[in-house]
Amino acid sequence: MTQLSGKENLMFKKILCPVDFSAHAHDALKISVELALSCDSELSVINVAEPVPVSIGGVGMASVNPQIFNVAEYQKNMEDAAFEQLQKLCQEMIPDSVNSNIHILVGHAGENVVEFAGQQSVELIVLSTHGRTGLKRLLLGSTAEYIIRHASMPVLSVRIKE
């Protein structure tokens, strides 16, 4: 086990906060901002949008007439709306003194967060233990659990009292 000695070992230069626009995620973002301010860190805030469901066998979105419903256009509209929502959230919650950036990813939330964190050399992930799934009986949200199990960097899980 590595021992931490001195303040410099507790400094994280790159922090990642995945948000799903739930109240819990907002609280995790508040903590991320506080850490970024105290550590003079770069803060990346991401949202992972669900891909438009496509199925095989004539059931689901893939069976919709492409002349009536354009799946690619719908997906882009969803991503654009998520980006606008994320941009607004960050403008409200992150002071100008924090070096921050935002990203919208598409796919499996846990996998995308872990992959993004590795690619960006993130040193700390801050996330809420529960998101929009509504499964309050679970000890830990499935996305949070995936990230905690698979991330190669420290993960600060924020448990919000209800």
Query: b or e along 107-118 (b: 16 or more beta carbons within 10 Å of the residue's beta carbon)?
Result: eebbebbbebbe
> What is residue 127's predicted lDDT score, i.e. its pLDDT?
94
> What is residue 11's predicted lDDT score, i.e. its pLDDT?
83
Outline where DSSP puts E strands in the chain. Answer: 14-18, 42-49, 99-106, 124-128, 155-158
> What is residue 19's predicted lDDT score, i.e. its pLDDT?
95
And the tokens for 110?
Answer: 């846990």
CA atoms within 13 A on the CB side of 58: 0
> What is residue 69's predicted lDDT score, i.e. its pLDDT?
73
> What is residue 3's predicted lDDT score, i.e. its pLDDT?
46
> What is residue 74's predicted lDDT score, i.e. its pLDDT?
87
Closest CA to 91 of 82, 102, 75: 102
> What is residue 102's predicted lDDT score, i.e. its pLDDT?
98
> What is residue 24's predicted lDDT score, i.e. its pLDDT?
85
Model confidence pLDDT, tens digit, residues 87-117 = 999 999 999 999 999 999 999 999 999 999 9
Each domain of the chain, given as residue ranges in start order, spans 20-134
> What is residue 130's predicted lDDT score, i.e. its pLDDT?
66
What phi and psi, each to the nearest 5 degrees, are found at residue 18? Answer: -80, 135
pTM for this predicted structure: 0.82
> Are the beta carbons of 159 and 129 closer than 8 angstroms?
yes
What phi and psi, each to the nearest 5 degrees, are found at residue 96? Answer: -60, -25
> What is residue 48's predicted lDDT score, i.e. its pLDDT?
95
Which CATH code, of 3.40.50.620, 3.40.50.300, 3.30.1490.20, 3.20.20.30, is assigned to 20-134?
3.40.50.620
Residues of the chain with pLDDT under 50: 1-5, 56, 62, 132-139
Taking the C-alpha atoms of residue 45 and residue 119, their distance in angstroms, rounded to an integer, is 14
